[in-house]
Amino acid sequence: MPLRRSAPARRTIPLAAGTLVSLFSVLALPLVLPGTATASPDAGKTPAHPEQDWMGSTIAMHEGIDEQAAGSEPRGAWSRRAVAGVDVSSHNGKVNWRRLRRKGVRFAYVKATEGTSYTNPYFSQQYHGSYHADMIHGAYHFALPDHSGGATQARFFAHHGGGWSRDGRTLPGALDMEYNPYGATCYGKSHGGMVNWIGDFVRAYRAETGRDAVIYTSTNWWKRCTGNSARFGRTNPLWIPHYSTSVGSLPGSWRFHSIWQHTSSGHTVGDHNRFNGTYGRLKVLAYGEDDDD
């Protein structure tokens, strides 16, 4: 994302523009912000890949960029009516969140963890800073399916920044599934093995937080590494990277996307994203659904 060119759980449905979701009464705000990161088991060790640690770092390399869209934003992406967001990692260092807010950024996702041995050293400033700048924020986990089990990584993520709270300002954690930056594209897993790994992660994350994780993935990677599995389309919101003038085709059984990462470069910090709906719908995604209403 750097400027490389300059309790028991209840089932939810992914959100997008026009989706009907019942809201519940807002509970009291937490005394501390959710998602506070703590030291990892391998704190102090060299990060796994400090030169490639951002969400989408492998997408352009494997899938390319639409040259007509390169260096530009999709029409209306940063207009006052658009719900614009960014995602950041350690490469972005200390972020001037108030400046981004003035430019119209309404939400932010911050890298919290990778595998079970890496935590973002800038997480606190980035995560809490976006919150204090009046943004809706969330955390994401860079998956390493060949390092450890999905449930193990989900618990590590939930306990090191990826938690969730009904404060109306915290989005469910996101699972970053993309090309392996260290080796085999699909981490040495079969289609069934990868689907099972993701299933273990999302079940464990829901058990820890009560929310269904957002899944970040490209259509090409999903087809190649899961066989275009239709397993998660009704439960996990889709965040899709596609560096072009449109979102393109969707993977699996997803009928719509919730977030579109439309460029990895531009006039401000981090990768640029656009929520598929109004700001009010983004707040619904943050609050979650109350099945009792």
How many CA atoms within 13 Å lie on the side-chain side of 36? 4
Assign residue 179 the CATH number of its domain. 3.20.20.80
Does residue 27 lie within any of the structural domains? no
Tens of pLDDT, residues 254-288: 999 999 998 765 556 778 899 999 999 999 999 98
Q: Which two tokens stand for residue 119?
A: 């935590």
- Structural domain boundaries enclosing 139: 59-287
Does residue 149 lie within any of the structural domains? yes
Q: What is the pLDDT of residue 91?
A: 86
Q: What is the secondary structure of 153-217 as a DSSP string?
A: HHHHHHHTT----SSSSBPPPEEE----SSS-TTTT--HHHHHHHHHHHHHHHHHHHSSPPEEE-
Does residue 152 lie within any of the structural domains? yes
- Which of the following is catalytic: 178, 208, 212, 289? 178
Does residue 281 lie within any of the structural domains? yes
The yes-or-no answer on residue 176 being catalytic is yes
Inform me whether the pLDDT recorded for 83 exceeds 60.
Answer: yes
pLDDT band at 7 (very low <50, low <70, confident <90, very high): very low
Q: What is the pLDDT of residue 54?
A: 64
Tens of pLDDT, residues 169-187: 999 999 999 999 888 999 9
The yes-or-no answer on residue 178 being catalytic is yes
Q: How far apart are CA 87 and CA 140, in angstroms?
A: 9
Tens of pLDDT, residues 222-256: 999 999 999 999 999 999 999 888 899 999 999 99
Does residue 269 lie within any of the structural domains? yes
pLDDT band at 3 (very low <50, low <70, confident <90, very high): very low
- Which of the following is catalytic: 176, 208, 212, 289? 176
Q: What is the pLDDT of residue 94?
A: 94
Rounded average pLDDT over 135-156: 97
Does residue 21 lie within any of the structural domains? no
Does residue 251 lie within any of the structural domains? yes
The label of the residue with tokens 């990584």 reads 153
Q: What is the pLDDT of residue 232?
A: 98
Domain count, the chain: 1
Does residue 24 lie within any of the structural domains? no
The label of the residue with tokens 């350690």 reads 90
- Which of the following is catalytic: 53, 63, 73, 87? 87
Tens of pLDDT, residues 100-111: 999 999 999 999
